[in-house]
């Protein structure tokens, strides 16, 4: 039913101001110069560097430098003025009591309700934010993303996670290849493979059915699938489909995580899924090797053991094969899928289909696609991801709140904040814009969160009385597991949701000294009990957490991040910031090897690191290698 409400418009068939209005895939086929390297040049202010891109249609003109930084535009300045002269003089207590205003700050799509009346905005603020969005060419940038322009300019890549959930039969041509067709070829392979494992056609090397899965991966190759697994674990349809199957995740290179992932599992009934886009990530390589050894130790060292018990999701076939996994057991994805945006690819599809069936995963894709369609075509004013993104920009860049929290009132979403944390902080944690200029306005919030009500008994003290942290409250009309206790005034879910409805008002309204006084509190205690209020939040209310709604939620937050990056003129799709620490770890690893096994003195580090390493080396390694490993730099 829910799908019927969403428009099923083929990808690539809308007009796009910066390019002719014909479908993008036709332009690509007919464009003879499509493969030629080209330097995009424009008549621009000379001190902004041109971006070199590798194909004619790599970046549309909207990505060429304009004369002014977004923060110098009159639209940006109008918002600064508005924050200073209007909003700073308001209090949410008064704003929320204005019914007409609240009525306007509400949007709905496909069962998903967004009430943003507790944000520190008035309708005029929203008008100014929409004007800023227009100035930043938000519409054109999101369309460029959907069409596969190489908007990840620093890596010269398209950003096409939306194509991962495009309906079968839709067409999107990139460099002459219909990528939606490719996506569905892999999905069909996953459907067939997961069916075979689930119905016992594919059994382990000793003939036992496979019913345990260990997904080995880290970062984007872990957080999305884990959040999805947790979201589905107690959902009616998914949990029935899972039966007594077990899905665990092995991400941390800490050997303790190996113990936890394998604990009490029968290797004969266990399949490892190695998930790594690059297949070079150290943590994943070591964990995959360790699990391979665990399987071989218990099941024997044969090609058949690996063939029956190990599969991979990657873009790097060579490395997968070198590791020993059969090519037919690899489920590919593509470089236009960023790690943190990859849960809709084989990265999520394989573990989730094995555990819950492909049908369940397909429902998740449908939910995400519904939100994609809304994001792509709905006018800015009622567009949920756009609204969330603009409110993020407003809170961070104009009201200077540098953190934000997500509180799902659903235990099943316990790993959602962690996934969004990576998604958003790795995307928008940048210090330069796409032109390489240092940004002169705050970007990239610190994201954190916990399911309610647990968070309330943890860090909510700070949210109510300490720093101001804009919050997202996510609630559901129905529970995955309804329970009613005799003698209680409400059901357990109503009890949970009472908090969902109360907390945003407590943050917005606060409690004045007079109100505390009226409660008869002594004068000296009053300051300790005052709540200043005026703390912004949004409420998202959704039907029930099932696979479809989980997909909607994922896409909503993915697009929120993109919107903010588009407005801030940053590249939300690279992550060079994770490299430096990795390189330094290589040097330490080499030193540990040389000192442990060849008695080399620790050298080449600063005083502090040298002292710490020397103290660390006083301990024993706790295990022995059969052969001393001679270090080779990778
Ligand atoms: O999937 P892999 O290539 O193993 O990469 C795993 C992770 O590595 C790094 O931490 C990146 O910053 C993440 O975005 C990525 O998801």
Percent of the chain with pLDDT over 70: 88
Looking up tokens 């573990």 gives: 351
301 Cα: distance to centroid of ligand 1 (angstroms): 30
Please give the structure tokens belonging to residue 423.
């998604």
Alpha-carbon gap, residue 108 to 50, rounded angstroms: 40
Q: What is the mean pLDDT of residues 413-418?
A: 98
Q: Residue 237 CB: number of other CB atoms within 10 A?
A: 15
Which atom of ligand 1 approaches the CA of 221 most closely? Answer: 1
Residue 225 CB–ligand 1 contact under 6 Å = no
Q: What is the mean pLDDT of residues 371-390?
A: 98
CB 279 within 8 A of CB 319: yes
Task: Write out pLDDT tens, residues 458-481.
Answer: 999 999 999 999 999 999 999 999
Task: Write out pLDDT tens, residues 74-95.
Answer: 999 999 999 999 999 999 999 9
Alpha-carbon gap, residue 53 to 407, rounded angstroms: 41
pTM of the model: 0.90
Which atom of ligand 1 approaches the CA of 222 most closely? Answer: 16
**In terms of DSSP H, where are the helices of 599-634?**
607-617
Nearest-Å Rg of the Cα atoms of the chain is 26
339 Cα: distance to centroid of ligand 1 (angstroms): 6
284 Cα: distance to centroid of ligand 1 (angstroms): 10
Alpha-carbon gap, residue 470 to 195, rounded angstroms: 44
629 confidence band (pLDDT: 50, 70, 90): low
Q: Residue 306 CB: number of other CB atoms within 10 A?
A: 21
62 confidence band (pLDDT: 50, 70, 90): low
Q: In sequence order, which residues have a C-beta less than 8 Å from that of residue 111 and are 6 or more positions away?
A: 2, 542, 543, 549, 552
Alpha-carbon gap, residue 340 to 354, rounded angstroms: 21
Question: Which pLDDT belongs to residue 175?
Answer: 86
Percent of the chain with pLDDT over 90: 86
Question: Which pLDDT belongs to residue 627?
Answer: 55
Statement: residue 11 has pLDDT above 50: no
Residue 292 CB–ligand 1 contact under 6 Å = no
Please give the structure tokens belonging to residue 602.
């620790």
Alpha-carbon gap, residue 14 to 122, rounded angstroms: 32
- Write down the mean pLDDT value for the chain: 90
Query: 3-state secondary structure string, 200-260?
Result: CCCECCCCCECCEEEEECCHHHCHHHHHHHHHHHCCHHHHHHHCCCEEEEECCCCHHHHHH
Residue 278 CB–ligand 1 contact under 6 Å = yes
Ramachandran sector of residue 222 (left: φ over 0; alpha: ψ -120 to 50; beta: rest): alpha
Query: Distance from CA of residue 331 to its chain's centroid?
Result: 21
629 Cα: distance to centroid of ligand 1 (angstroms): 26
Return the DSSP state at 157. B
569 Cα: distance to centroid of ligand 1 (angstroms): 24
Question: Which pLDDT belongs to residue 620?
Answer: 82
Q: Which helix (H) or strand (E) holds 106?
A: strand 106-109
Alpha-carbon gap, residue 286 to 396, rounded angstroms: 39
Read off φ and ψ for residue 587, nearest 5 degrees. -65, -40
134 confidence band (pLDDT: 50, 70, 90): very high
Alpha-carbon gap, residue 490 to 473, rounded angstroms: 21
Q: Where in the sequence numbering do the catalytic residues fall?
A: 426, 457, 582
- Name which residue sits closest to atom 11 of ligand 1, judged by CA: 219
Which atom of ligand 1 approaches the CA of 218 most closely? Answer: 6
Alpha-carbon gap, residue 40 to 33, rounded angstroms: 14
Alpha-carbon gap, residue 499 to 497, rounded angstroms: 5
More confident residue, 625 or 563: 563
Residue 419 CB–ligand 1 contact under 6 Å = no
Alpha-carbon gap, residue 180 to 11, rounded angstroms: 9
77 Cα: distance to centroid of ligand 1 (angstroms): 38
Alpha-carbon gap, residue 499 to 22, rounded angstroms: 51
Which atom of ligand 1 approaches the CA of 422 most closely? Answer: 14
Which atom of ligand 1 approaches the CA of 338 most closely? Answer: 14
Statement: residue 484 has pLDDT above 50: yes
Residue 136: is the preceding peptide bond cis (ω within 30°)? no
Of 570, 573, 565, the closest CA to residue 438 belongs to 570
Residue 229 CB–ligand 1 contact under 6 Å = no
Question: Which pLDDT belongs to residue 631?
Answer: 58
Query: Distance from CA of residue 436 to its chain's centroid?
Result: 24
3 confidence band (pLDDT: 50, 70, 90): very low
Cα 63 to Cα 16, 58, 389, distances in angstroms: 14, 10, 19
Return the DSSP state at 312. E
Statement: residue 202 has pLDDT above 70: yes
* Best residue for ligand 1 mutational test, from 220, 319, 341 (most atoms within 8 Å of Cβ): 220
Of 305, 380, 425, 399, the closest CA to residue 142 belongs to 380
Alpha-carbon gap, residue 242 to 24, rounded angstroms: 41
- Name which residue sits closest to atom 9 of ligand 1, judged by CA: 219
Residue 575 CB–ligand 1 contact under 6 Å = yes
Of 120, 151, 134, 16, the closest CA to residue 73 belongs to 134
Number of residues that make up the chain: 634
CB 105 within 8 A of CB 117: yes
Statement: residue 534 has pLDDT above 70: yes
Statement: residue 487 has pLDDT above 80: yes
| DSSP-assigned letters across all residues of 465-487 | HSS---EEEEEESS-SS----TT
* Interface predicted TM-score (ipTM) over 0.95: yes
Residue 433 CB–ligand 1 contact under 6 Å = no
- Name which residue sits closest to atom 16 of ligand 1, judged by CA: 220
Q: What angle do CA 18, 24, 30 make, to 5 degrees?
A: 110
Tell me the helix, strand and coil percentages in the chain, rounded to 5.
Answer: 50, 10, 40
Statement: residue 250 has pLDDT above 90: yes
Residue 339 CB–ligand 1 contact under 6 Å = yes
Please give the structure tokens belonging to residue 180.
């939606």
Residue 533 CB–ligand 1 contact under 6 Å = no
617 Cα: distance to centroid of ligand 1 (angstroms): 29
Residue 404 CB–ligand 1 contact under 6 Å = no
CB 334 within 8 A of CB 179: yes
Q: In sequence order, which residues have a C-beta less than 8 Å from that of residue 305 and are 6 or more positions away?
A: 205, 295, 296, 299
Q: For 397-402, which contacts have Cβ atoms below 8 Å and span 24 or more sequence positions?
A: 397/441, 397/442, 397/443, 397/568, 398/79, 398/80, 398/82, 398/83, 399/83, 399/87, 399/120, 399/536, 400/442, 401/445, 401/468, 401/469, 401/470, 401/536, 402/442, 402/445, 402/446
């Amino acid at each position: 039913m829910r799908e019927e409400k969403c428009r099923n418009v083929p990808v690539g068939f809308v007009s796009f101001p910066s390019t002719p209005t014909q479908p993008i895939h036709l332009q690509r086929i007919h464009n003879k110069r499509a493969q030629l390297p080209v330097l995009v040049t424009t008549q621009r202010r000379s001190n902004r560097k041109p971006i070199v891109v590798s194909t004619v249609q790599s970046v549309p003109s909207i990505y060429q430098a304009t004369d002014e930084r977004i923060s110098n535009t009159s639209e940006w300045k109008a918002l600064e003025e508005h924050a200073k002269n209007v909003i700073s003089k308001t209090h949410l207590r008064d704003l929320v009591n204005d019914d007409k205003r609240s009525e306007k700050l509400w949007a709905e799509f496909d069962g998903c309700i967004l009430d943003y009346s507790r944000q520190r905005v008035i309708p005029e603020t929203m008008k100014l934010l929409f004007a800023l969005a227009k100035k930043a060419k938000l519409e054109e940038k999101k369309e460029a993303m959907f069409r596969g322009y190489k908007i990840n300019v620093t890596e010269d890549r398209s950003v096409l996670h939306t194509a991962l959930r495009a309906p079968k039969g839709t067409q999107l041509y990139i460099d002459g290849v219909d990528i939606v067709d490719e996506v569905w070829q892999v999905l069909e392979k996953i459907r067939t493979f997961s069916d075979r494992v689930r119905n016992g056609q594919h059994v382990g090397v000793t003939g036992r059915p496979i019913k345990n899965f260990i997904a080995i991966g880290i970062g984007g190759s872990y957080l999305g699938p884990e959040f999805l697994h947790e979201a589905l674990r107690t959902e009616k349809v998914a949990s029935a489909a899972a039966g007594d199957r077990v899905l665990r995740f092995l991400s941390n290179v800490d050997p303790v995580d190996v113990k936890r992932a394998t604990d009490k599992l029968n290797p004969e009934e266990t399949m490892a899924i190695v998930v790594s886009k690059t297949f070079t990530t150290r943590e994943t390589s070591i964990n995959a090797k360790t699990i391979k050894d665990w399987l071989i130790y218990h099941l024997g060292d044969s090609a058949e053991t690996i063939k029956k018990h190990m599969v991979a999701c990657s873009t790097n076939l060579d490395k997968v094969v070198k590791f020993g996994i059969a090519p037919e057991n690899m489920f590919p994805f593509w470089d236009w899928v960023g790690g943190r945006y990859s849960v809709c690819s084989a990265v999520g599809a394989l573990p989730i289909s094995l555990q819950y069936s492909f049908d369940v995963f397909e429902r998740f894709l449908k939910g995400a696609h519904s939100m994609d369609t809304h994001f792509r075509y709905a006018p800015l004013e009622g567009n949920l991801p756009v609204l969330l993104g603009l409110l993020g920009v407003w809170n961070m860049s104009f009201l200077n709140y540098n953190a934000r929290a997500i509180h799902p009132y659903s235990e099943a979403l316990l790993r959602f904040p962690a996934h969004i944390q990576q998604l958003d902080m790795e995307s928008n944690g940048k210090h330069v814009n796409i032109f390489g200029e240092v940004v002169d306005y705050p970007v990239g919030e610190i994201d954190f969160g916990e399911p309610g009500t647990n968070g309330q008994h943890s860090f909510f003290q700070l949210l109510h009385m300490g720093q101001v942290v804009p919050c997202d409250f996510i609630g559901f009309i129905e529970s995955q597991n309804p329970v009613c206790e005799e003698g209680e005034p409400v059901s357990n879910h109503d009890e949970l949701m009472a908090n969902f409805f109360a907390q945003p008002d407590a943050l917005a309204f606060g409690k004045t000294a007079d109100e505390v006084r009226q409660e008869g509190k002594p004068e000296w205690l009053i300051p300790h009990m005052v709540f200043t209020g005026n703390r912004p939040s949004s409420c998202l209310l959704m039907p029930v957490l099932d696979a479809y709604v989980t997909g909607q939620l994922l896409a909503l937050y993915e697009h929120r991040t993109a919107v903010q990056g588009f407005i801030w003129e940053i590249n939300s799709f690279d992550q060079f910031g994770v490299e430096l620490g990795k390189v330094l770890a290589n040097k330490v690893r080499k030193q540990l090897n040389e000192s442990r096994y060849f008695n080399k003195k620790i050298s080449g580090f600063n005083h502090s690191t040298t002292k710490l390493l020397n103290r660390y080396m006083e301990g024993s390694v706790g295990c022995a290698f059969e052969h001393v490993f001679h270090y080779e730099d990778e």
